[in-house]
Chains A and B, each alone.
Chain A
Amino acid sequence: MTLDGFVLLTLIIVAHLIFAIRLINVYQWVNLGQGSLAWDRIPERMNDLFVKGFGQKLVLRKKSGIGHALIFWGFFVLTFGTIEGLVSGVLFDFSFAFLGPIWWFMNTCQDFFGALVMIALGAALYRRLIIRPKRLEGPFSHTLDALFIIGLIALLIVAFYAMQIIAPKPGFTPVADGLRAMLGITGPLGKEAYPVAFHSFHWLHNLIVLGFLVYIPFSKHLHIITALPNLFFRQERVRGRIPNLDMENESAESFGIVKITDFTKKELLDLASCTECGRCQEACPAYNTGKPLSPKKVVLDLKDYLFEVGPKLLHHPGAELEKQLYGDVIAHDVLWACTSCFACEEACPVEIQPMSKLLGIRQARVLMEGDFPEEAQNALRNIETQSNPWNLPQEERGKWAEGLDIQTLAENAEVEYLFFTGCAGAYDQRYINVTRSLALLFRHAGVSFGILGNEECCTGDSAKRVGNEYLAQTLAQQNVDTFNGYGVKKVVTACPHCFNAIKNEFPQLGGHYEVIHHSELINDLIKEGKLKPDAKALADGGYTYHDSCYLARYNGVMDAPRDVVARVTGKPVTEMERTRSNGFCCGAGGGRMWMEEKIGKAINQERAQEALRTGAKTIATACPFCMTMITDGVKHEGREDVQVKDVAEILAEVMHLETGQRKTTDA
């Protein structure tokens, strides 16, 4: 071995040691979390790994993801040459030549991918320096980190092509050949022909590779190592369900996330897997309206905190920390800005869950400290007393049905559907019109249904997302007991929040029902010919539809409400810029309905403006919270000419079903 080879070998060993030690550290810090990483359902997990990981399925949902995929795949292709380069630096003249045609093929691929990666790097640079999209906003150090990596990879490709120009390996290599021709290099080739140049580029290539190896685990590029495992160990979960905390556990020291180590190992692996791509930030209604919450920042702040306190906690488990998770890392205004709209978790290409982490911290604030926004406290107290957030009498929960002669399950439980109205459907003077419209539609179509009347209580959706697991479970259990008492099998509801709670959360407490949203049921009834809209009666002017997060993103109900409007009007709704699973929250989820919005632009205004830009004269909704928020937003814009209506109302009106209710919110 030459001195040259010896130096390189030493560097290789040192770089790998640093790399390994750092990774072991990261593993240990992640290991401070609760539970264990899941090794069940291996075939499913492998599928995730290949489709979402190696296949880049989630990354490719955005155009900019093409660049990432090219760099990602290029990395694997070029690794072939990297290994040859490193080994031949030590052992001289090593190559995969013995693989024969495979070697030829890989050399060909490398030539193409080198160019593709270069183009992708150019695009990445352009985005960071010229376009600067919202999602890449953040501290300058993050941009610097990215630029450094982009530069390093670019230099690596330069060195790769330089070697290929000087000493071509067999293969179809038009890029290297073209470059050689452009540079006017002719005559004998090979490293012997250009010993100094080749040697220099060989060293440059190897040094960059080793430098990269050392730099990766200390930078955001740690995701190269962690993202694939993060996809593999993805937490099995039901969308829309916040897993119940075990309230009976007497030995539990705390509930919710008090300390960083209260997160599960998988949740901590999440933190180490973030690449700062910012797709979550771009989708977040809070961030987009000037709130201090950015899901990206939440993840990165938690990651920095874990890496900062990890070493101490490793050697002194349970040590008192100067910096507290709540307050020092996640501030009050960050925590309570979340609308639980799920856009961040939907957007993440590596299945990181920023929202769930915030909701876990909320649980601790509410259950352990009783510390949360006062308006939300009032709403929860009201729910505790009268089982609705407005503290209206429980005794009047069934009053909306007056004059409609609807039977309660107490009077007749032999019906196909329980029609669950929800608090807004029962008490909100505006939304009662939707409830009554639906009752009339169901009756017109001959649907067999009954209501619970005063026996109905809040499903606990808001309480659960504010973090009061205790209250939420009490309410859910109360409903489950009532439902089961009447042998309920099918539930139709006009509130996506009730819908989600009954469908996805009640099963945790022994409540298993077939749950259907009213838009789905009335859409089916039209299809079956049981409801026949009279399009002539229609007020014209164009229709758009606003997706409820709990209907669309959480539960995939996106077509039915659109279909209802389309069947009535005879043409599809005019879509807003952000629709369907990319829909933009109205601002009322996660208990935000009951809290004041003091910072930044109002979320409902942002959304109402977007709806108005479609030019539609009617904004269709399918959720009581959305209706309130969008109506307020439209009013704020002074657009009295635009109406906000539930899809059920639009249908009921053209069927000339009179509810006897006023249809506006003004007094």
Chain B
Amino acid sequence: MKIAVLIKRVPDTASVFAINPDQKSVATDKLKFVMSPYDEHAVEEAIKLKEANGADVVVVSLGPDSAKEVMRTALAMGADEGLLVTGAGTDSLTSKGVAEALAAAVKSIGAELVFAGKQAVDDDASQVAERVAELLEMAHASVVTKFELNGGTAVVNREIEGGSYTLELPLPAVITIEKGINTPRYPTLPNIMKAKKKPIAEKSLADLGLSAEALAPGVVLESLSLPRQNRRNHIIDGDTPARVNELIRLLKEEEKAL
């Protein structure tokens, strides 16, 4: 059985973000990159399945050459090989285009089961895995907190507010993973060393036979902005009546909250 795990290289959320002057892209040169945390759980789930039932785990990603670093992390956790969609045209894709490319990549390796994090923590779009399922006409379950393979079907739990669904899906299927399903393992040194030698294949969009039309964005990015930052901390001095008066004045005049 072949399992594909879709993973994404994202900036660590603790990084300090800045928007480029064009107002349409994030300045990436000073950022630290990691594997999107939900994807780590997806990789772990695939490896657990491999250890229990035997499987070939291929991590699939789309991004620049440096995306290989996070793929190596997945390989060190125990995935067998990697497939990176990279090169011309891959840096400007929206979720739709990424899904087209990854669907083609998954198809090319013939995976029966596809895992992915429930969303990537950079753009939080939660679209790619679902689109891949649609494009490949696979069954799909999202935000899964428990996964079992039962013959040719997958039995999964989806947590919802105040309860949970239990679903049965025929394979092939795409499953997106929520935290809490497992604890991603800490890679061991021998596996880190082995991972350095595991193969990561590279394919361009052309290799996957994708047309410009399929990759067309469908949406137009107007502008990017940072959330409002820097809460103003203001400590008011004086005796209590004076402080209350000052607080009311600030709320009225400066914050216009009253």
Contacts and interface: CB of A to CB of B under 8 A. Distances in A.
B33 to A, nearest CB: 9
B12 interface: yes
A250 B193 CA distance: 9
A386 B188 contact: no
B15 A368 contact: no
Interface string B8-26: 0000101110000000000
A526 to B, nearest CB: 35
A44 interface: no
Contacts of A125: none
Nearest to B30: A395
Contacts, number: 44
A393 B15 contact: yes
Interface in A582-636: none
Given A385-B34, A386-B32, A395-B30, A367 B189 contact: yes
Interface stretch (A223-231, A236-244, A370-378): A370-378
B54 interface: no
B199 interface: no
B192 interface: yes
A394 interface: yes
Nearest to A388: B14
A164 to B, nearest CB: 65
Nearest to A371: B186
A367 B14 contact: no
Contact of B185 (A367, A370, A386, A393): A370
A372 to B, nearest CB: 7
Contacts of B53: none
A377 B15 contact: no
Contacts of B12: 385-386, 391
Nearest to A250: B193
B34 A370 contact: no
A26 interface: no
Interface in B15-67: 15-16, 30, 32, 34
B32 A368 contact: no
Interface in A354-413: 366-372, 374, 377, 380-381, 385-386, 391-396
Contacts of B188: 367-370
Given A385-B34, A386-B32, A393 B186 contact: no
Interface string B180-212: 000101111110110000000000000000000
Contacts of A307: none
Interface in A249-278: 250, 255
Contacts of B30: 395
B224 to A, nearest CB: 19
A470 B189 contact: yes
A366 B16 contact: no
B122 to A, nearest CB: 15
Contacts of B183: 374
A368 B14 contact: no
A449 to B, nearest CB: 26
Given A374-B183, A386-B32, A368 B16 contact: no
A392 B32 CA distance: 11
Interface size band for B? 10 to 19
Given A385-B32, A385-B34, A391 B187 contact: no
Interface in B94-118: none
Nearest to B192: A470
Given A385-B34, A386-B32, A255 B189 contact: yes
B189 A385 contact: no
A370 B186 contact: yes
Contacts of A370: 185-188
A255 B187 CA distance: 14
A386 B185 CA distance: 19
Interface in A324-374: 366-372, 374
B15 to A, nearest CB: 6
B41 to A, nearest CB: 14
Nearest to B193: A250
A370 B183 CA distance: 12
Nearest to B34: A385
Nearest to B191: A370
A368 B190 contact: yes
Most chain A CB inside 10 Å of its own CB: which residue of B15, B192, B193: B15
Contacts of B190: 367-368
Interface in A70-87: none
A255 B192 CA distance: 13
Contacts of B193: 250
B14 A391 contact: yes
Contacts of B32: 385-386, 394
Nearest to B189: A367
A563 B186 CA distance: 45
Nearest to B37: A381
Nearest to B13: A391
Contacts of A396: 16
A244 to B, nearest CB: 14
Contacts of A374: 183
B34 A377 contact: no
Contacts of A380: 186
A9 to B, nearest CB: 59
Contacts of B192: 470
Contacts of A371: 186
A180 to B, nearest CB: 72
A367 B76 CA distance: 12
Nearest to A390: B14
A395 B189 contact: no
A518 B24 CA distance: 47
Contacts of B185: 370
A384 to B, nearest CB: 9
A383 to B, nearest CB: 12
Nearest to A367: B189
Given A385-B32, A385-B34, A386-B32, A392 B186 contact: no
A396 B30 CA distance: 11
Most chain B CB inside 10 Å of its own CB: which residue of A366, A372, A391: A391
Interface of A: 247, 250, 255, 366-372, 374, 377, 380-381, 385-386, 391-396, 469-470
Given A385-B14, A395-B30, 18 more contacts: A247-B189, A250-B193, A367-B189, A368-B190, A370-B185, A371-B186, A372-B186, A381-B186, A385-B12, A385-B32, A386-B14, A386-B15, A386-B32, A393-B14, A393-B16, A395-B16, A469-B189, A470-B192
Interface of B: 12, 14-16, 30, 32, 34, 183, 185-190, 192-193
15 contacts: A366-B186, A367-B188, A368-B188, A368-B189, A369-B188, A370-B186, A371-B186, A377-B186, A385-B14, A385-B34, A391-B14, A393-B14, A393-B15, A394-B15, A395-B16
For the complex of A and B, list the 5 residue pairs with the smallest distance between their C-beta atoms, beginning with the closest.
A370-B186, A367-B189, A395-B16, A370-B188, A391-B14
